[in-house]
């Protein structure tokens, strides 16, 4: 994908259709969609990711059961099994963290775009959808731009008076605020990425982080009233001032930003691997580390959606040596095995075959 040309010609300029090839394996993506949907057979699940919704007929089905893909079923077979006059649509929000190779491929894909247009501060939302004979009602994403890759099938999108039709491998893009309506005209699988572009979302993210720290600082669940100790609003002001003055809010925002930037905005990230690196083995570099200076707190290291803080210069020297050599033995870095284990867990290094 030529992101440089895309950024120059299309980014924030207007809807666009760019021909190409699927950025991820469609069969693997559909398998992930089916895996994500499995827990939802018996009903909706709230406040969990991935979040899966199945639509048919008049709208969303609360307990779709066997209408969801079965293990081992591919898109063609599944579409033939559930075909009907009413059509159908499955949406899986944020499923990628369940599949490291897919997550990594999408992260690398998006990272190329962010290098051209700047990285979003708030998380991006990745979504897999599959549908046939289904039309979405017109909608407007006021705060997010949209990137939609058609992995299989065809997708027709009405954008005001303009209609764009994308085939397998094509990318559909439109800026935030664009009125759009999708039509799945045949069994179709898409990867959709919602990109936050509203600058107010940075303030929202900071506010949510502050509230999280405040909730931890209250220490109990009692509802305050005027006669209970210090005036509740005054106590809240003191708590906010203490959090800001301590630097805790800045540290947490920096840590989370670094983690998210190393993930190209994808959140959540795949869980770290178990600490299974042997103490004596050959290793090779497989990923990059984003390092952000944090003043007296040291340096934040982030990779593949995970971040931690290190102090001192030894870790930096070890990383530079390891990166320059490409491959090495764990015994080449005496006293640094704990760091190597951490880098293995977040997939910066791997064992040689």
The string of pLDDT tens digits covering residues 282-341 is 999 999 999 998 877 789 999 999 999 998 778 989 999 998 888 999 999 999 999 999
The mean-pLDDT minimum among 23-37, 155-169, 252-266, 288-302 falls in: 288-302
Q: What digits encode the pLDDT tens for the residues 120-155?
A: 989 999 999 999 999 887 887 889 999 999 999 999
Whole-model pTM? 0.89
Topology at the third CATH level for domain 3-196: Jelly Rolls (2.60.120)
Cβ count within 10 A of residue 271: 12
How far is Cα of residue 253 from the mean position of the Cα atoms in its chain? Answer: 17
Q: Phi then psi for 131, rounded to 5 degrees?
A: -165, 165
User: Per-residue pLDDT for 32 more than 70?
Assistant: yes
Residue 118 Rama label (left phi>0; alpha psi -120 to 50; beta): left
HEC string of 87-113 equals CEEEEEECCHHHCHHHHHHHHHHHHHH
Q: Give the number of C-alpha atoms closer than 13 A to the C-alpha of residue 225, restricted to the C-beta side.
A: 1
The pLDDT value given to residue 75: 97
More confident residue, 31 or 136: 31
Q: Which of 263, 250, 249, 351 is nearest to 306 (CA)?
A: 263
Binned at pLDDT 50, 70 and 90, residue 157 comes out as very high
User: Per-residue pLDDT for 231 more than 80?
Assistant: no
d(CA 37, CA 127) in angstroms, rounded, equals: 13
User: Per-residue pLDDT for 42 more than 90?
Assistant: no
What are the tokens at 26? 């469609």
Binned at pLDDT 50, 70 and 90, residue 227 comes out as low
What are the tokens at 79? 């579409």
The residue ranges of every structural domain in the chain are 3-196, 200-262, 282-351
CA distances from 280 to 316, 331, 336 (A): 21, 6, 12
Percent of the chain scoring above 70 in pLDDT = 94
Instruction: With beta carbons less than 8 A apart as the criterion, state whether 301 and 309 touch.
Output: yes
User: Per-residue pLDDT for 347 more than 70?
Assistant: yes
Q: Give the number of C-alpha atoms closer than 13 A to the C-alpha of residue 56, restricted to the C-beta side.
A: 17
């Amino acid at each position: 994908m030529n992101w440089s040309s895309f950024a120059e010609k299309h980014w924030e300029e207007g809807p666009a259709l760019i021909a190409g090839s699927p950025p991820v394996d469609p069969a693997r993506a559909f398998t992930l969609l089916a895996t994500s949907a499995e827990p939802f057979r018996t009903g909706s699940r709230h406040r969990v990711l991935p979040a899966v919704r199945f639509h048919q007929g008049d709208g969303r089905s609360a307990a779709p059961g066997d209408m969801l893909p079965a293990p081992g079923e591919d898109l063609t077979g599944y579409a033939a099994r559930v075909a009907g006059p009413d059509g159908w649509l499955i949406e899986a929000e944020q499923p990628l963290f369940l599949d490291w190779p897919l997550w990594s491929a999408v992260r690398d894909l998006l990272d190329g775009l962010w290098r051209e247009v700047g990285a979003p501060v708030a998380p991006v939302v990745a979504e897999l959808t599959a549908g046939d004979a289904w039309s979405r009602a017109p909608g407007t994403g006021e705060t997010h731009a949209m990137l939609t890759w058609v992995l299989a099938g065809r997708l027709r999108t009405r954008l005001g008076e303009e209609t764009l039709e994308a085939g397998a491998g094509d990318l559909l893009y439109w800026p935030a605020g664009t009125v759009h309506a999708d039509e799945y005209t045949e069994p179709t699988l898409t990867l959709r990425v919602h990109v936050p572009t509203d600058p107010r979302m940075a303030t929202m993210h900071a506010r949510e982080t502050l509230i999280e720290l405040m909730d931890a600082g209250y220490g109990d669940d009692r509802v305050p009233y005027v006669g209970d100790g210090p005036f509740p609003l005054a106590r809240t002001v003191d708590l906010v001032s203490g959090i800001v003055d301590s630097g805790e809010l800045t540290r947490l925002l920096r840590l989370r930003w670094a983690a998210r930037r190393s993930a190209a905005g994808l959140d959540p990230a795949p869980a770290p691997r178990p600490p299974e690196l042997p103490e004596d083995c050959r290793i090779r570099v497989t990923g990059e580390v984003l390092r952000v200076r944090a003043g007296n707190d040291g340096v934040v290291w982030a990779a593949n959606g995970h971040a931690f803080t290190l102090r001192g210069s030894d870790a930096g020297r070890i990383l530079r040596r390891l990166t320059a050599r490409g491959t090495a033995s764990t015994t080449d870095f005496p006293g640094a095995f704990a760091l190597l284990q951490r880098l293995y867990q977040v997939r910066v290094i791997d064992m040689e075959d």
